[in-house]
């Protein structure tokens, strides 16, 4: 029995060495670590986001690996680019050079046809609608409507009240403001 265990371990060792030495590795990959399988850098990034230190996390990554590096987020490998040259590259490159594909978990959460997945004419149409919705003159109108809604709400539910349950009232107020702005209700 000891001989079979020894032979099995030797066979596993030889096969893993063979696979490690013969596996093709692309020389065009940027530096960086993919981290643990499936986890990658997701936990570190999420912790930085929760503690409002995402910018420091990104700066540290850029300082450690340079402005272009590989990483793994949400179980998917990704490329991290940082700096002015990265922005210039993204906004000026041809659509054939840079692919816009979100990780599978992101697509499962947001759907296959979310804004981040759109390309070509669909992307232009949706982007135009969003840009028109966020124009400065439109934002001024929204602020006026929000101010009116908040004043009415304070007068109706909070003025003269001895005790106010803030959380449910704020949820309702937020929903009412969103309904008013988005749907005109």
pLDDT average, residue stretch 133-140? 83
123 Cβ contact partners less than 8 Å away, ≥ 6 residues apart: 115
pLDDT average, residue stretch 14-29? 64
Each residue's pLDDT tens digit, 160-183: 888 888 888 889 899 988 888 888
Exposed/middle/buried for residue 40 (C-beta within 10 Å: 0-12, 13-18, 19+): buried
Q: Is the pLDDT of residue 70 over 80?
A: yes
What mean pLDDT, rounded, does the chain reach?
78
The better pLDDT of the pair 63, 34 is held by: 63
Q: How confident is the model at residue 151 (pLDDT cuts 50, 70, 90)?
A: very high
**Beta carbons of 122 and 95 less than 8 angstroms apart:** no
Residue 116 Cα to chain centre, angstroms: 10
Each residue's pLDDT tens digit, 85-128: 777 776 676 666 666 666 677 777 777 777 777 777 887 888 78
pLDDT average, residue stretch 146-173? 87
């Amino acid at each position: 029995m000891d001989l079979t265990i020894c032979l099995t371990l030797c066979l596993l060792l030889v096969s893993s060495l063979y696979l490690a030495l013969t596996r093709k590795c692309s020389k065009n990959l940027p530096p960086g670590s993919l981290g643990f399988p499936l986890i990658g850098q997701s936990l570190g990034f999420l912790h930085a986001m929760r503690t409002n230190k995402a910018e420091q996390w990104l700066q540290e990554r850029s300082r450690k690996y340079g402005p272009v590096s590989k990483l793994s987020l949400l179980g998917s490998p990704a490329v991290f680019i940082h700096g002015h040259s990265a922005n210039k590259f993204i906004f000026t490159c041809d659509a054939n050079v840079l692919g816009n594909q979100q990780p599978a978990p992101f697509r499962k959460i947001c759907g296959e046809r979310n804004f981040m997945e759109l390309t070509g004419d669909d992307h232009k149409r949706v982007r135009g609608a969003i840009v028109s919705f966020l124009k400065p003159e439109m934002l001024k109108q929204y602020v006026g409507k929000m101010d009116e809604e908040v004043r009415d709400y304070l007068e109706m539910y909070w003025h003269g009240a001895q005790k106010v349950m803030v959380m449910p009232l704020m949820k309702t107020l937020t929903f009412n403001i969103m309904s008013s702005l988005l749907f005109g209700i």
